[in-house]
C-alpha cells in the first residue's frame, strides 16, 4: 500500500472474510434444502402422472419431467453440489482459523508453564532472571515471525503484531502472579492483572469538571471537522488547555445533531496531582480500573448536553485513545450516550474491547513504542480496523525523518497527517471505505453542517457536591 500504510481488520479484514465464508456456506445449505424440496415436489408430480390416458397428457408430462429429474443439472444433483461447496467453504475457513491459533497456543503454553513454575519455586528470586530469558525467547520467536511477515527488520510494534511482546508480558505477569501464596492459574491477559495490585495503591482523588471560560466558539465552512484528520487536529488543539477535553456539537442541515469528543493524551508524569491526564490515569486504564480521564470525559459529555440517541464519536491520542476505548466498553456509559465510533492514534488499546456495534479505527506508527505498551496484538474483527504506517517509506521527507525518533513518531500532528492519508485510501480499501461511509453519515454529516466547540477542564483533588448538570 502507498506511503507505508497497512490496513487490517474491519469490513475487509480476515475475520470479516472468514465470517463471509461461513455465511456463504449457510446460504448454500439453505439453497440446497430448497432445491431438495423442489426435487421432491417434481418427483411426486412425476409419480402422480397417468400414462394411459386417451389424450396422452400423462405421457407428455413425464417426458417433460424426466430430463429435469435425471439431468446433471437436476435439482437433486445441484443441491448435492451446493452442499459439497458449502462443506469446502467451511473447511477452508476452519483450516485458516486452526493454523492461525496453533503456533500461538504452543508458545503461550511454553511461556506460561515455564514462568509459573519458576514463580512457584523456592528459588523464585534467582529464577527471576530465567523468567526474563523466557520472555526473550518469546521476543526472538516474534522477531522471526515479524521478519517473515513483513520482509524487513522488525520494529517495536512488529513484535506486538507478531505476538512476541504479548508473550513476554504474559510470561512476566504469570511469573509475578505465581510469587503469591498458593498455586496460581495462568494469566488470561498480559498486562492488566499485573498492574491491578498497583492500582489499589494509587490515591483516589475527587474531580471538579467545569467549562473553560471563553472556550466556546462556533465553526462554519471548512473549519467544521469533517474527516478523521480533522478529528485528530481537534485532539491536538485540546493539549493547549491542561486537563481539558473538547466537545464539538455538530448541527446538520436537517436539524439533527451529532457529537465529536476529543480527548488528549498524557500531559503530566505525576501521580495524584490536579491534572487528570497524568501517569496515574495511564496505570488505571492499563489495569482496567476507573480513571480520572474517564470521569472527566463523561462529565464533559453530560455538561455539553448530549441527548440520548445522538451519535457520538470519541477521538483520542495516546492515553486519550485508551480513555475513549474504556468508555466505549462501559455498558453504563453506552446506555447513556450513543457512542457509535472510536478513533485512536498511538494508543495501547489492542487488548481493550468495546460494546457490540461500536465502530473502531486504531492508527499506529511502526516506530511508536506507545501502542506496544499493552502487549497485545490488534484484533481482526468486522467492527475494528487497524492501520499501521511505516514512516521509513513515507513520501513526505518530514514524516520519513520521524521514523528515526520514538518521540516524533508519537507526535499528534504526525498522526493527523497519517489520518489524512488513510482517508484518501477509501476508494480502494474496503475497511476504510466502510468506516468513512459510516462515520460520515452518522457523525460528520453533509455540507452545511455547523459546529459549536466547548472545552471542559478537570481539576483533581477538589471536593464538590454531587449535582446533575442542566441539559441544553
| Per-residue pLDDT tens over the stretch 293-311 | 999 999 999 999 999 999 9
CA nearest 391: which of 411, 367, 417, 415?
367
pLDDT of residue 72: 74
Segments of the chain with pLDDT less than 50: 1, 13, 99-101, 103-105, 107-108, 110-112, 118, 120, 123-143, 145-150, 153, 156-170, 176, 183-189, 466-472
Count Cβ atoms within 10 A of the Cβ of residue 82 and give its class: 0-12 exposed, 13-18 middle, 19 or more buried: buried
pLDDT of residue 188: 45
pLDDT of residue 161: 41
Number of CB atoms found within 10 A of residue 69's CB: 16
Residue 215 near residue 434, CB atoms below 8 Å: no
pLDDT of residue 175: 52
pLDDT of residue 362: 95
Place of cell 405421457: 59
pLDDT of residue 137: 47
Backbone angles phi, psi at 451, to 5 degrees: -140, 150
Greatest Cα pair distance in the chain: 102
Residue 323 near residue 316, CB atoms below 8 Å: yes
pLDDT of residue 30: 77
pLDDT of residue 105: 47
Amino acid at each position: 500500500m502507498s506511503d507505508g500504510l497497512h490496513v487490517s481488520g474491519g469490513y475487509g479484514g480476515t475475520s470479516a472474510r472468514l465470517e463471509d465464508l461461513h455465511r456463504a456456506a449457510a446460504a448454500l445449505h439453505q439453497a440446497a434444502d430448497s432445491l431438495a424440496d423442489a426435487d421432491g415436489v417434481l418427483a411426486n408430480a412425476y409419480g402422480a402422472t397417468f400414462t394411459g390416458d386417451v389424450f396422452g397428457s400423462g405421457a407428455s408430462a413425464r417426458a417433460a419431467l424426466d430430463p429435469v429429474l435425471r439431468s446433471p443439472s437436476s435439482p437433486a444433483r445441484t443441491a448435492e453440489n451446493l452442499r459439497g461447496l458449502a462443506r469446502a467453504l467451511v473447511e477452508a475457513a476452519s483450516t485458516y482459523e486452526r493454523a492461525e491459533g496453533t503456533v500461538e497456543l504452543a508458545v503461550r503454553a511454553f511461556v506460561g508453564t515455564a514462568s509459573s513454575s519458576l514463580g512457584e519455586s523456592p528459588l523464585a528470586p534467582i529464577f527471576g532472571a530465567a523468567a526474563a530469558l523466557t520472555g526473550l525467547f518469546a521476543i526472538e520467536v516474534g522477531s522471526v515471525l515479524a521478519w517473515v511477515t513483513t520482509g524487513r527488520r522488525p520494529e517495536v510494534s512488529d513484535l506486538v503484531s507478531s505476538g512476541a511482546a504479548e508473550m513476554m508480558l504474559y510470561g512476566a505477569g504469570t511469573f509475578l502472579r505465581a510469587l503469591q501464596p498458593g498455586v496460581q492459574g495462568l494469566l488470561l491477559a498480559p498486562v492488566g492483572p499485573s498492574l491491578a495490585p498497583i492500582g489499589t495503591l494509587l490515591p483516589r482523588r475527587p474531580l471538579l469538571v467545569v467549562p473553560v471560560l471563553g472556550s466556546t466558539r462556533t465553526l462554519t465552512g471548512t473549519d467544521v471537522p469533517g474527516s478523521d484528520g480533522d478529528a485528530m487536529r481537534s485532539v491536538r488543539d485540546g493539549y493547549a488547555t491542561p486537563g481539558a477535553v473538547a466537545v464539538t456539537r455538530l448541527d446538520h442541515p436537517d436539524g439533527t445533531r451529532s457529537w465529536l469528543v476529543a480527548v488528549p493524551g498524557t500531559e503530566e508524569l505525576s501521580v495524584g496531582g490536579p491534572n487528570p491526564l497524568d501517569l496515574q490515569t495511564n496505570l488505571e486504564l492499563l489495569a482496567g480500573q476507573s480513571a480520572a480521564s474517564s470521569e472527566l470525559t463523561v462529565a464533559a459529555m453530560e455538561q455539553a448536553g448530549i441527548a440520548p440517541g445522538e451519535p457520538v464519536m470519541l477521538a483520542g491520542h495516546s492515553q486519550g485513545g485508551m480513555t475513549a476505548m474504556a468508555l466505549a466498553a462501559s455498558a453504563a456509559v453506552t446506555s447513556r450516550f450513543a457512542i457509535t465510533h472510536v478513533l485512536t492514534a498511538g494508543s495501547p488499546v489492542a487488548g481493550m474491547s468495546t460494546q457490540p456495534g461500536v465502530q473502531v479505527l486504531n492508527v499506529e506508527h511502526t516506530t511508536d513504542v506507545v501502542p506496544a505498551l499493552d502487549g497485545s496484538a490488534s484484533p481482526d474483527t468486522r467492527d475494528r480496523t487497524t492501520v499501521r504506517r511505516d514512516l521509513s517509506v513515507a513520501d513526505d521527507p518530514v514524516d520519513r525523518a520521524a521514523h528515526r525518533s520514538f518521540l516524533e513518531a508519537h507526535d499528534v500532528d504526525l498522526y493527523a497527517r497519517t489520518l489524512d492519508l488513510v482517508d484518501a485510501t477509501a476508494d480502494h480499501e474496503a475497511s476504510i471505505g466502510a468506516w468513512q461511509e459510516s462515520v460520515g453519515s452518522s457523525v460528520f454529516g453533509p455540507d452545511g453542517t455547523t459546529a459549536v466547540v466547548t472545552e471542559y477542564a478537570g481539576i483533581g483533588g477538589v471536593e464538590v457536591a454531587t449535582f446533575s448538570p442542566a441539559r441544553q
